[in-house]
Amino acid sequence: MLIGWYPGHMNKARKEIIHALKKVHAILEVVDARLPYSSENPLLRELTGDKPVLKLLNKTDLADPGLTSQWLSYFAKNNVSAMAITSNSQTSLSKTITRHFRSLQKAAKPPFKVMVVGIPNAGKSTLINNLTNRKIAKTGNEPAITKGQQEIKLDEDFLLVDTPGILWPKIEDQDSAYRLAVTGAIKNTAIVMEDIALYAIAFLKTNYPENLQDRYTLDTLDEEPIALLEEIGAKRGCLRKGGVDHNKAAVILLNDIRSQKLGQITLESPTEIPKSDNENSEQD
């Protein structure tokens, strides 16, 4: 199996979230700006019911600015409150977010409680640390690091629940699973690096050819992904007896993508969202 989420885990996460959400007024949903669709939890809308959700497209610094704009327009058109953020460096984020909820707060008796939810590695802990200006939640590049429970006062009548709701990613969709893996949202040990790298190369060839070509000074992209992976590996000294070490080459490529060495890249656009997933798409 590609990802380490199983029905048992999902059921437990689901129950925990349903329980935790009962105590809050609104939800901060953290998704990855490089894949706003695939980094959503497939059941979140069902779990949050009528509670207001603010969708935060995090890691905007890593994403393609043009596509981030397209995603924001798409969400606006579909009546989804969304905001693009960079939670590891942005200042005044707390003010911006509390201001957004201020209008909704009128409907609820203070303190107004908000909870952060999202899939592993989306940046929930980083966001909580940013909002509280403290190092409360542990952050890390590997998924599923956050533990513990607290409530933090953001201002006079605004509370943040510091137990991020950790939800499973879109694993039922193969494409989503691959995209998530490219960004590192799935533990490296749970995936075959070479498969993910080949997926990434095919994607880059089509969508960001210059970024790929420039980074590895490739003469041409008119080759199969496997041949390109070998060329990249050969150039980066990933040689072993009998040829190129595919796994090593894959690790180099994926690390480069994740650390933005290939530039700002977004892995999916709003036009690729399956129709059935678009609640407000026109139906006839």
Ligand X SMILES: Nc1nc2c(ncn2[C@@H]2O[C@H](COP(=O)(O)OP(=O)(O)O)[C@@H](O)[C@H]2O)c(=O)[nH]1
Residue ranges binding Mg ion (CB under 5 A): 124-125, 146
Q: What's the rounded Cα separation, in Å, for the pair 97 and 8?
A: 34
Residue 125 touches ligand X, criterion: CB under 6 A: yes
Residue 86 touches ligand X, criterion: CB under 6 A: yes
* Residue 143 near which of ligand X, Mg ion, none (CB within 5-8 Å, type-dependent): ligand X
Q: One symbol per residue from 55 to 84: x for binding ligand X (CB under 6 A), - otherwise; what is it?
A: ---xx-xx----------------------
Smallest CA-to-CA distance from 34 within 122, 105, 118, 147 is with 122
Question: Smallest distance, Å, CB 13 to ligand X?
Answer: 13
Residue 269 touches ligand X, criterion: CB under 6 A: no
* Residue 98 near which of ligand X, Mg ion, none (CB within 5-8 Å, type-dependent): none
Supply 210's token pair. Answer: 């210059």
Q: What's the rounded Cα separation, in Å, for the pair 238 and 142?
A: 25
Residues belonging to the chain: 284
Please name the residue that has the structure tokens 């003010």. 95
Asked whether the beta carbons of 107 and 78 are under 8 A apart, the reply is no
Which of 38, 48, 68, 87 contacts ligand X by CB under 6 A? Answer: 87
Q: What's the rounded Cα separation, in Å, for the pair 281 and 51?
A: 21
Residue 170 touches ligand X, criterion: CB under 6 A: no
Kind and range of the H or E run holding 58? strand 53-58
Question: Smallest distance, Å, CB 251 to ligand X?
Answer: 17
Q: Which stretch binds ligand X (CB under 6 A): 1-9, 113-121, 147-155, 268-276?
A: 113-121
Q: Give whichever of 119 and 159 is closer to ligand X, judged by the CB atom.
A: 119
273: left (phi over 0), alpha (psi -120 to 50) or beta: beta
Residue 139 touches ligand X, criterion: CB under 6 A: yes
Question: Smallest distance, Å, CB 155 to Mg ion?
Answer: 23
Largest CA distance in the chain: 69
Binding site for ligand X (CB under 6 A): 58-59, 61-62, 86-88, 118, 120-126, 139-141, 143, 145-146, 164
